[in-house]
């Protein structure tokens, strides 16, 4: 059974990659013989012959990579040729094209909000068939394997990064929509996706593309030169491409301006304070009967606000369902990453002895860069089991026990005598305090993935009355981040 290869001739195949040779048999035949003891010979007058021995034949069918005729394929193959790719209008990048195919689970091809790494390592894109993990889909290029991304999906399994596949050099894509673990192993539990690159292109084609949103804030540029020359015995094909896409922020669109919830890791900060320290500093606590409560400076405070101007509440004032709105992190995070990719591809084939002996090879190089931004880092609770304790020293140093309660130097791991003159309270601030560290600006996530792959080998066809063929190659594939 041939699940991915289309060939109208039955032939015996030798193939694989990295100097590995394999032979596949389409079926195995095993025979078992069962005999019966012949009954006693009847008298001479009986003419009935003895019963013949019974024989049962068992046929075991296993997976095979031997090329067969297209019409005998057992599993459904969905094919996208170059004409369909161009007509789809989604062939700018590999992930954009595959995300729109009904056989894909689009959520595993992250394009937006990639900096959060919710679908795997940031700066990459994976695909998944049938809603399974990306590691359950086998990705091939010209029916041969390719190096996985130097990271793993959230499940821990490796996958192939789509951003490192040159879509402009792809002639067609074959998608085996059913499981193929019998043939390809456990990597193909969900299915197989095979990218067929150009091998014998004749002529030249120049593509220049520009796109943008109606708001003119997410421009996209693409340039590509595809060319090929050849004779009856030799062919050379090449492709050079460049792609650029500007980023877009959540605040630029009304549907993403405000997230479903606002964060209590806010600015100005939510500070947990002792009620006695609030009163001693001249503040008016929300409830004087409480031992501790929370306070926050007013909006647009410069760090020199006195305690009397603070806003106090029994819980964090800046939080969902509290007296002040929480922090809107979508005002600072990108919704679509900035992307830049460039690279090239080349392939050749030369007939040394007609179709019986052909030398072939190919090479591609892709450099893919992405830039994401997230809101300034959040502290979480200052004091959290299993994490380093954060603290703000008191306005003035103290010895012994804190004069108005709260944690001691030893409890937060602070050096004895530490103080902070910009803290208006005579206590160490820690515990359930939460903050957003704006001093360092947005979190910037920059990734660069560099992929190299080359193949050289020999193959032949029409051997032994046209019923035999062979294909052997050495392949090197590398992806660096």
Q: What is the pLDDT of residues 390-419, one digit of tens each?
A: 999 999 999 999 999 999 999 999 999 999
How much is the mean pLDDT over the chain? 81
230, part of any domain: yes
Longest alpha-carbon distance in the chain: 130
The per-residue pLDDT for 33 is 39
Mean pLDDT of 264-287: 97
What φ, ψ does residue 377 adopt, rounded to 5°?
-65, 140
201, part of any domain: yes
pLDDT digits (tens, 9 = 90+) for 138-168: 889 998 988 888 876 666 677 888 888 888 8
> Does residue 187 carry a pLDDT above 90?
no
The per-residue pLDDT for 153 is 65
pLDDT digits (tens, 9 = 90+) for 60-111: 444 455 555 555 555 678 888 888 777 766 556 666 666 656 555 544 444 4
107, part of any domain: yes
What φ, ψ does residue 474 adopt, rounded to 5°?
-105, 130
389-394-399 Cα angle (round to 5): 100
What Cα–Cα distance (Å) separates residue 39 from each residue in 51, 68, 408? 9, 49, 102
Structure tokens given for 207: 């593509």
The per-residue pLDDT for 332 is 95
pLDDT digits (tens, 9 = 90+) for 350-375: 999 988 999 999 999 999 999 999 99
402, part of any domain: no
The per-residue pLDDT for 293 is 98
Q: Distance between CA 408 and CA 340 in Å, rounded?
A: 52
Least confident window among 5-9, 213-217, 436-440, 451-455: 5-9
R_g of the chain, CA atoms, integer Å: 34
Taking the whole predicted model, whether its pTM rises above 0.85 is answered as no
Which CATH number characterizes residue 149's domain? Answer: 2.170.130.10
Structure tokens given for 124: 């990459």
The per-residue pLDDT for 50 is 64
Express as a percent the part of the chain with pLDDT over 90.
52
> Does residue 27 carry a pLDDT above 90?
no
Structure tokens given for 85: 């790719």
Per-residue H/E/C for 354-419: CECEEEEEEEEEEEEEEEEEECCCECCCCCCCCCCCCCECCCCCCCCCCCCCCCCHHHHCCCCCCC
What Cα–Cα distance (Å) separates residue 401 from each residue in 36, 273, 424? 99, 16, 19
- Confidence band, pLDDT 50/70/90 cuts, at residue 2: very low
Q: Distance between CA 26 and CA 11 in Å, rounded?
A: 11
238, part of any domain: yes
86, part of any domain: yes
For 72-190, list the strands marked E by DSSP.
77-81, 137-141, 170-176
The per-residue pLDDT for 435 is 97
How many distinct structural domains can be found in the chain?
1
Alpha-carbon torsion angle 49, 51, 53, 55, nearest 10:
120
461, part of any domain: yes
CA atoms 177, 178, 184, 189: torsion sign: positive
2, part of any domain: no
Express as a percent the part of the chain with pLDDT over 70.
76
> Does residue 212 carry a pLDDT above 50?
yes
The per-residue pLDDT for 28 is 33
Mean pLDDT of 53-62: 54
DSSP string, 26-82: SEEEEEEE---PPPPPPPTT--PPPPPPPEEEEEEE--------GGG-SS-EEEEEH
Range of the domain at 171: 72-249+336-374+445-480
- Confidence band, pLDDT 50/70/90 cuts, at residue 24: very low
């Amino acid at each position: 059974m041939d699940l991915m290869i289309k060939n109208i001739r039955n032939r015996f195949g030798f193939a694989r990659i990295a100097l590995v040779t394999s032979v596949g048999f389409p079926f195995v035949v095993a025979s078992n013989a069962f005999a019966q003891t012949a009954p006693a010979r009847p008298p001479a007058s009986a003419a009935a012959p003895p019963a013949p021995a019974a024989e049962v034949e068992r046929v075991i069918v296993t997976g095979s990579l031997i090329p067969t005729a297209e019409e005998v394929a057992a599993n459904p193959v969905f094919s996208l040729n170059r004409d369909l790719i161009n007509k789809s209008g989604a062939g700018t990048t590999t992930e954009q094209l595959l995300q729109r195919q009904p056989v894909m689970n689009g959520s595993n091809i992250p394009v937006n909000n990639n900096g959060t790494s919710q679908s795997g390592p940031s700066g990459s894109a994976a695909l998944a068939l049938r809603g399974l993990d990306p590691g359950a889909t086998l990705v091939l290029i010209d029916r041969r394997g390719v190096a996985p991304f130097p990271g793993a999906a959230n499940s821990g399994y490796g996958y192939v990064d789509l951003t490192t596949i040159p879509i402009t050099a792809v002639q067609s894509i074959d998608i085996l929509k059913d499981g193929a673990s019998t043939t390809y192993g456990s990597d193909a539990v969900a299915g197989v996706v095979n990218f067929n690159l150009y091998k014998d292109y004749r002529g030249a084609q120049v593509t220049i593309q520009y796109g943008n949103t109606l708001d003119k804030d997410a421009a996209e540029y693409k340039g590509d030169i595809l060319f090929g020359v050849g004779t009856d015995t030799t062919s050379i094909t090449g492709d050079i491409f460049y792609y650029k896409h500007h980023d877009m922020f959540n605040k630029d669109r009304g549907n993403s301006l405000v997230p479903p919830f606002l964060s209590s890791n806010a600015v100005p900060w939510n500070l947990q304070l002792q009620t006695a320290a609030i009163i001693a500093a001249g503040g008016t606590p929300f409830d004087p009967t409480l031992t501790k409560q929370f306070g926050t400076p007013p909006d647009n405070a410069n760090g020199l606000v006195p305690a009397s101007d603070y806003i106090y509440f029994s819980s964090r004032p800046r939080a969902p369902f509290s007296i002040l709105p929480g922090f809107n992190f979508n005002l600072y995070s990108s919704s679509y990453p900035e992307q830049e990719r460039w690279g090239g591809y080349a392939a050749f084939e030369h007939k040394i002895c007609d179709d019986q002996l052909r030398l072939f090879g190919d090479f591609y190089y892709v450099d893919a860069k992405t830039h994401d931004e997230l809101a300034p880092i959040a502290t979480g609770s200052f004091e959290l089991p299993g994490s380093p304790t954060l603290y703000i020293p008191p306005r003035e140093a103290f010895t012994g026990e804190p004069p108005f309660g709260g944690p001691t130097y030893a409890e937060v791991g602070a050096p004895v005598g530490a103080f902070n003159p910009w803290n208006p309270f005579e206590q160490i601030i820690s515990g359930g305090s939460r903050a957003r560290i704006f001093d360092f600006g947005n979190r910037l996530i920059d990734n660069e993935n560099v992929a190299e792959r080359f193949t050289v080998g020999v193959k032949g066809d029409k051997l032994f009355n046209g019923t035999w063929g062979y294909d052997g190659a050495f392949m090197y594939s590398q992806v660096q981040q």
